[in-house]
Amino acid sequence: MIVKEEQKKEGNDEKLFINLIECYLLLDNRFSLDLYPICVPCLIKVSLKKEEDEETQKEVEIALLALSRIDDRNKIERDLYLNEVKEIIQYHQKHRNLTRLAYQSAWGFLIKRFLLDKSLEVVIANELHFEREVESELDGLMQSVDWKKKEEEMGETERKAMDIISRWISSIRYNFFSCNLWNEEYAELISRIVDLFRASRDNHNEMGKECIQSIKAVAKYRTVKLDDLLKSGVIDAGLEEIQRPTPNERMTYESLKFYYMLSLRFKGMTGDEMEEAKRKELKRKMLEKMEEKGVEDIFNSFQETFRFFFPDDSGFIHL
């Protein structure tokens, strides 16, 4: 139906055409490669609308939501989207014309393209300031949620905020997996994820798990400054989770996995990555923090429980 509508020489129903594309993407994100040159420009055109009336905002929101659904394993040529998506994001940064969901969706679409196009990193980090923008959005969204409530007790506004937060965390994880640049904005973003982890873990285990998985990606994949991790509070947050009187098995596993990834980072450090004296000092600080919390026996007991997850029997937490 999409192809037939696009091929019409006369009498093309633009609204029907847009609706067909949006419905298809919202139902199935594995879009045919042949359809990208047809459909991406169409949705981009809708997303570029600047009017702030409610009807236009909804049109833009749905178009960007549909774009954000496109499968991350299929590469889209940059000339189909990049300049336009940059314009959408930068215009919102100046005028705040998009809904929260629309803005997240614009970023979600761009970050998914990053997996197959590493050259986007400079645009994402240095031109559009992904880390700074996500931190600001998370601040606002977290204030919209009463974290003492369970999900079934929340109102519609709170549930919507939770959904958008979850989408941001997913985009953060995509970015951490792919990004190699490091700047001070990343350190602040990690601190914000730690705040979200602490706020959500009692009544929203799934979101807490998403947070610790994102932080785990930092430890494993990024050229992260390890002293920034110490400053962010993530070390303390993980230890708090492991020490809970009634631990959640999945959350405990993810926390332990974070420490495992961190220990591998320390073991793999070279002179090019960190001066030996600084590495030893950071290592000492981490071990002192663990000793202060009195968690050595706890680590050892969990290591036995989760042994099949951690192939290094010499002690995955010993740095």
**Predicted local confidence at residue 9, as pLDDT:** 66
**Predicted local confidence at residue 315, as pLDDT:** 46
- Answer whether 147's CB lies under 8 Å from 197's CB: no
**Predicted local confidence at residue 82, as pLDDT:** 97
| Cβ atoms within 10 Å, residue 264 | 15
Q: In whole angstroms, what is the distance from residue 253 CA to residue 303 CA?
A: 10
Q: If you ran DSSP here, which 8-state letter would residue 10 be given?
A: S
Q: What angle do CA 140, 144, 149 make, to 5 degrees?
A: 140
Give the mean pLDDT per block of 10 residues along the chain (319 residues): 82 88 87 85 96 94 96 89 97 96 97 91 92 94 94 93 96 83 78 92 88 81 69 80 77 79 67 62 71 63 57 46
**Predicted local confidence at residue 129, as pLDDT:** 93
b (16+ CB within 10 A) / e for 185-215: bbbbbbbbbbbbbbbbbebbeebbbbbbbbb
Q: Any residues with CB less than 8 A from the CB of 37 and at least 6 apart, and which?
A: 77, 80
**Predicted local confidence at residue 216, as pLDDT:** 80
| Cβ atoms within 10 Å, residue 30 | 11
**Predicted local confidence at residue 205, as pLDDT:** 85
**Predicted local confidence at residue 41, as pLDDT:** 94
Give the CA count within 13 Å in the CB-facing half-sphere of 172.
Answer: 31
Decide: helix, strand or coil at residue 84: helix
Q: In whole angstroms, what is the distance from residue 211 CA to residue 34 CA?
A: 36
